[in-house]
Structure 1
């Protein structure tokens, strides 16, 4: 199992940094944000960084170069610094999911993100890509930044599939396995 946490920092302010391809399904964990997930066999590990530390992990569904655009899936976690009350509000905060596109998930996606109540959005981008976005929120803090935080979830976990119409059904099956592998635990 690969683990990363707040001690990993990078002078590179890029969105992703690749490592060697995963030879077998491998569980990747992040203690700071309290999650772990399995990447598909043979896929590159693409680290999601903010420039100071790792927020998430993803992979390419076509090709091995994390720096190149294309079909991908990812899990990103961040603190709820805007004090949004729930996952649906976080999704609405993301421009492309504003309005009625952001809804509480039903059916298979209802509690898909580590068992958390999940909000979802599905849309087609102007460049023809298709995105499916799932968000769950967890962990209330004790004390901290103020009264608002005491009443709102502390960390949100965003799971994203980006693909093409032609690949959607095939990539959706890989995404389902990826989402089912997510485990959420208290951050350390």
Structure 2
């Protein structure tokens, strides 16, 4: 099960509170050209995050059933337990491509700036991560001896079982 509660947005900022039952997931996705401030409010959450390898290292599709993949480096792979520090993701580093899995019931506050806006090139893209060894045979080594720190990411369609519900703000009116 995947669940999230999406909250308030304006043209400059989007604030979200994600509520996770145990074992729920927000799949691997990105925040193109965006900064994200995340604060775990309660509970425990596993975070796995990547940054793209620059310059881009891409293996083109070899036909139907073979995805185009791009190399990414692992930035974070750990369990966060509240209370903990605020995480900051930047457009090109800090784990801008990430997924979350609830270890226990938990909630996280995200502040995204600027918000997703497809017409401005900020569309959420989902990915599947493959081990480095899955696509590296016959290719020059990129990570010499640190293969476990790298993965190949392939774009996916938006997951059909991802449930996002628009939140309702019940407090005093605020203008973002």
Task: Indicate the TM-score class for this superposition, using the shorter chain for normalisation.
Answer: under 0.3
- Structure 1 or 2: more helix by fraction: 1
The TM-score, its normalising length taken from structure 2, stands at 0.25
The TM-score, its normalising length taken from structure 1, stands at 0.24
Larger gyration radius, structure 1 or structure 2:
2
- Structure 1 or 2: more strand by fraction: 2
